[in-house]
Amino acid sequence: MPPILALAFGLGLWQAVVWATAVPHFILPSPVRVAAALWENTALLGAQAAVTLGNLAMGLGAGILLGMATALNLAISPSARILLRPLMVFAQAVPVFALAPIVTLWLGYGAPSKIVMVALVTYFPVTSAFFDGLMRLPADLDDLARQMQARPWPRLMLLQLPHALPSLGSGLRLAAVQAPFAVIIAEWVGASKGLGHLMLLSNGRAQTDLMFAALILLAAISLCLFLAADRLARHWDR
């Protein structure tokens, strides 16, 4: 009930603002107009959402896998921590979204540039959170591993990894929040398909209701993605 009530309150407030200000519909359409645009452009929105969702899934998968592999490598190799961690921190000092024009220039307007952008944005949160979890082994288990002279790889897989899963879940939550922003910005910079491309076209044609419909569809995708990551993280927290 609380989410339903919150949604109803938000829609009612939106409609009240439209009525009270009498703002033109091409600036702020009413919820009814946006719902009509969703219904009338179902096929168009579905096709564009499928493109965005495909780029999002592939980029998110690549970023998560690379982030997990990097965190495991950092946890088991002191040399990697010395060489790679400063480079990762320096790379994050550069705004990733500012790289979107460069990535598009290098990889073109197709799917690869969108996948790389999503992977870049999701890579660091997953790596950082997972690595912190791997290095925070409880003191009693750490002492036990030292007493039994456990080798690095079995120690990592049997002790550190299970205790780092909740931290990995936190990283997945962050990645799920940031990934939709990355794919949309990449589509704004340069694309011929996708919800971001549709939003730009709608804005240029003063079809604000269709632009809001695409935005709502993107918000629904983002919410589903976050709920999936949150459910997985809660499962690991048990």
CATH code assigned at 58:
1.10.3720.10
Question: What's the pLDDT at 65?
Answer: 95
Q: Is 18 within a domain? A: no
Q: Is 11 within a domain? A: no
Question: What's the pLDDT at 168?
Answer: 93
Structural domain boundaries, residue 78: 28-237
On whether the CB atoms of residues 181 and 237 are closer than 8 A, the answer is no
Q: Is 176 within a domain? A: yes
Q: Is 129 within a domain? A: yes
Q: Is 59 within a domain? A: yes
Q: What is the pLDDT along the chain (238 residues), one digit of tens a residue?
A: 677 788 888 888 888 888 888 888 888 898 989 999 999 999 999 999 999 999 999 999 999 999 999 999 999 888 888 888 887 777 777 777 788 888 888 898 889 999 999 999 999 999 999 999 998 888 777 777 777 777 878 888 888 888 899 999 999 999 998 999 899 999 998 888 899 999 999 988 888 999 999 999 999 999 999 999 999 888 887 7
C-alpha to C-alpha distances, 203 to 6, 17, 94, 213, 230, nearest whole angstrom: 28, 21, 30, 12, 33
The CA distance from 74 to 227, in Å, is: 29
pTM of the model: 0.88
Q: Is 22 within a domain? A: no
By CB neighbour count within 10 A (0-12 exposed, 13-18 middle, 19+ buried), where does 150 fall?
A: middle
Q: Is 90 within a domain? A: yes
Q: Which of 4, 6, 18, 2 is nearest to 212 (CA)?
A: 18
Apex 95 CA angle, 92 and 99, nearest 5: 110
Question: What's the pLDDT at 127?
Answer: 92
Residue 161 CA, distance from chain mean position: 23
Question: What's the pLDDT at 62?
Answer: 95
On whether the CB atoms of residues 185 and 103 are closer than 8 A, the answer is no
C-alpha to C-alpha distances, 155 to 82, 107, 137, 151, nearest whole angstrom: 21, 40, 10, 6
The CA distance from 58 to 35, in Å, is: 30
Question: What's the pLDDT at 42?
Answer: 92
Q: Is 15 within a domain? A: no
The two three-digit tokens of residue 205, written as one number? 């044609």
By CB neighbour count within 10 A (0-12 exposed, 13-18 middle, 19+ buried), where does 61 fall?
A: middle
Considering its fold, how many domains does the chain have in total?
1
Residue with tokens 């910005």: 185
